[in-house]
């Protein structure tokens, strides 16, 4: 399951998405599908509540992936 935050939630019109990914799909594969190939720069990704920097890691059945815009707090 993919959870979307802030700008991404509004852009994609939903806060949660299920993607039908091939076995062995990576985070980057999923982001490509989610954003139709135009993956925004600087986004943050967490898998199962842990921030990940390597978008080439493989996803597993049941993973919860948070897709978040670059930070803009303060």
Partner 1 sequence: MRASLVESIGSPDRIVEELKKASDRVGAVCLFIGVVRSTSPLGRVVRLEYEAHEKLAEEVLRNILKEVCEAHGVIDGVIEHKVGRASVGEPVMCVAVASEHRREAFRAVRELVERVKAEAPIWKKEVAETGERWVEETRREPLSLRLRGLIEVEVHEPMTARELVERLGMKPGEVLVMRKRAVLRWEDLLGEGDLVKVVPHDPATPGE
Residues in touch with partner 1 (CB under 8 A): 5-7, 10, 42, 44, 46, 49, 51, 66, 68-74
Between 13 and 20, whose beta carbon lies closer to partner 1?
13
Closest CA to 28 of 66, 58, 50, 63: 58
Distance CA 54, CA 52 (A): 6
- Shortest spacing between CB 3 and partner 1, in angstroms: 8
- Shortest spacing between CB 52 and partner 1, in angstroms: 11
Between 22 and 41, whose beta carbon lies closer to partner 1?
41
């Amino acid at each position: 399951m993919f959870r979307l935050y802030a700008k991404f939630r509004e852009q994609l019109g939903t806060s949660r998405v299920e993607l039908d990914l091939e076995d062995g799909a990576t985070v980057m594969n999923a982001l490509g599908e989610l954003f139709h190939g135009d993956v925004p720069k600087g986004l943050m990704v967490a898998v199962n509540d842990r921030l990940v920097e390597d978008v080439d890691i493989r996803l597993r059945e049941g993973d919860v992936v948070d897709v978040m815009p670059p930070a803009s707090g303060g």
